[in-house]
Amino acid sequence: MNSLQRLDTTALAQLNRALIGFDRIFNNYESRFANQTSNYPPYNVLKHDDSHYEIELAVAGFDKDDITVEVNQNELIIRGNKINEEDASKYVHRGLAARSFERIFTLMEHHVVQDAEVVNGMLKIKINVIVPEELKPRLITIK
């Protein structure tokens, strides 16, 4: 557990007052981590290189029509809403969860969601870092 995970909300409030201009960072921390109550569905975050990332969510039992992937400002919002079909069969054992879920990931600046697909029960979302040319480092010739 790192030091940020050990901070409670009172400590964050004190730091927030002391560091002018950093309030957005602390508000984001509080909303993302302090109120997280569920770890469903499980997920992986892969880093292929400095410009390509991938998020994998285990969505066994969900069709692609049951899942929405939305980008709203700097948030990637993934929702799963299992449409309950009336089935004449009754489960003797149900080990696969089929409950609705919402996962929110904060996207950093210049991170762009490129693609999303469901493969073998895994939702795979590709994220690329696209830095505009004017923000990339450049050499200035000396005259």
Q: Work out the pLDDT band at 91, boundaries 50, 70, 90.
A: confident
**What mean pLDDT is predicted for residues 107-127?**
93
Is 50 in the same domain as 7? no
Residues 74 and 16 in one domain: no
Owning domain of residue 116: 39-85+95-132
Indicate whether 115 and 75 sit together in one domain.
Answer: yes
**For the range 46-50, what are the long-range contacts, defined as Cβ-Cβ under 8 Å and sequence gap of 24 or more?**
50/129
CATH number at residue 43: 2.60.40.790
Same domain, 60 and 1: no
Comparing CA positions, the residue from 104, 41, 40 lying closest to residue 72 is 104
Same domain, 120 and 105: yes
Domain-located, residue 141: no
Read off the pTM. 0.67
Pairwise pLDDT comparison (108 vs 37), residue with the higher score: 108
The answer to whether residues 23 and 44 belong to one domain is no
SS3 117: strand
Confidence of residue 61 (pLDDT cuts 50, 70, 90): confident
Rounded to whole angstroms, the Cα distance separating 59 from 41 reads 7
Q: For residue 140, tell me if it sits in a domain.
A: no
Whether residue 99 is found in the same domain as residue 33: no
Question: Between residues 89 and 133, which one has the greater pLDDT?
Answer: 133
Same domain, 57 and 107: yes
Q: How many CA atoms lie within 13 A of 83 on its CB side?
A: 7
8 Å CB contact between 98 and 61? yes
Is residue 65 domain-shared with residue 113, that is, in the same domain?
yes
> What integer pLDDT is reported at residue 16 of this predicted model?
53
Same-domain check for residues 11 and 75: no
Asked whether residue 103 falls in the same domain as residue 58, the answer is yes
Q: Is there a single domain that holds both residue 32 and residue 60?
A: no
pLDDT reading at 115 higher than 60: yes
pLDDT at position 34: 52
Segment 31-37 mean pLDDT: 55
